[in-house]
Structure 1
Amino acid sequence: MNKVATMATHHSLRGKRVFVTGGGSGIGAAIVEAFAAQGAQVAFVDIATAASEALCARLAAAGLPAPLFAHCDITDIGALQRVMAALAAQVGDFDVLVNNAANDQRHNVADVTVDDWDERIAVNQRPMFFTCQSVLPGMQKKGGGAIINLSSISWHIKGAGYPVYATAKAAVVGLTRGLARELGAHGIRVNTVTPGWVMTERQLELWVDAEAEIEINKNQCLPDRLMPGHIAAMVLFLASDDGAMCTAQEFVVDAGWS
């Protein structure tokens, strides 16, 4: 598999306060590490305590600004709001919000119950609005900010086997566009980053088999594998001053699949 090229340095991100959901592993961990490498102060939540603490220790040992981690189940909106407030009290109001956390567990149309639907929406859709709501007062005081919401090409390519997940990820674009006009008046930019099939540990362990490799080769325009760092690079651009006039848009990083 290919390696991600060395990322550009975005000087405008140094010292910025960044909040990331699901930052303990996979794409989220790559985003946390990428911001820390830019000199930003990162705070993140996850339910995977061991992986998250190991990430913080590894970045601190590398001489990067040590991220702040708090265990939080983002389906509990009250807990999420309290944790965000506590972290902001430690590091200052957030300049950047990255809504990354998601769960793409497979499910069949015929088997989905109302409880199943509510549980998947509670993970993949509902927290995004309330994190945006939570950072809004601080960003207004600062006179600007950047919100990046992660979607998925699953709904673009009419992927089967996860209809509730696909619904939630399609709604991400609606949330982004629905907030961009109102928040833009306060200098806050809101964008969507839509990854393709990223080779995270979870994907490799659960879904990427020989048949999947054939599908990837057939559908991607580029032959290399999509890695978490490729997604992090786009997130950095949109969070930085380099993306100063980008808002209400969807930026697809999928090696040309969709």
Structure 2
Amino acid sequence: MNISAIILTYNEEIHIRRCIENLLSVAEKIFVIDCFSTDATINICKEYKQVHVIQHEWPGNQAEQFNWALNNCPVKTEWILRLDADEYLMPESLQKLKKITADLTPEVNALSFILVRYFLGKRIKHGTGTIRLVRMFRTGKARYENRPMDEHMLVQEGIIKDTDIEFADNNLNNLEWWITKHLNYAKREARILLDQEHRECSPNQELSRHSRNKRRQKNIYARIPLFWRSFFYFCYRYFLRLGFLDGKEGFLWHFLQGWWYRTIVDEKIYSFLKKQK
């Protein structure tokens, strides 16, 4: 297949082998952009002839790192596929990808995949609806928007085709790691929401339809009062969207990601605004 894959890594020895071996049958080359990992990530990558490791210091967010990779990786294939190290294509989607790419018309420049979420080892099926993200595009036709987080792919021209290809986000680290990661995320999320509370952001037309809808929803969320919005969001996901059907793991996912994390974000916004008075 005429596809190169790009994976961003830092200390991903727990995930990288699974991700690479998942892509071997669909990617001609796999470029791993590593931030000088101190674990076995690089040694694992060196076991595979299709994998090319490029070291680059972390610039501060995924969008900048991925766009740097687009500028510096010697990609010669028609298509680029992006996955995180803790992600992989669902087994049945590997064959679907081969068929879909063989039948694409020239005006299609990007493909959106369906996100399959796992949390603490269990697939989360309820609460958030279908999430689509652009994860494959023609070389030279897309870049990430410059945002500290919650970045989406900008497709410069042509059609974004929605597919039924599924990719899994299945992180194997423990809950303590997840909480620490989201405490760091909260600072960047607060910056984004502060901007949206004072200036509604118009969804960029280069985004996919699903990304534009998500951006509009975030604009609405930003106008709801602090702390109440995280509570309402949890209730919406857990009760109205039937998140409770996913058992204990579902409760932890919706409570921690839908309520706790967003309450931490609001606390950072509240503390910032209080200092401005």
The two structures have a TM-score, normalised by structure 1, of 0.36
Ranked by relative contact order (alpha carbons within 8 Å, sequence separation 6 or more), the top structure is: 1
The two structures have a TM-score, normalised by structure 2, of 0.34
Higher helix residue share: 1
- Which protein shows a greater Rg? 2
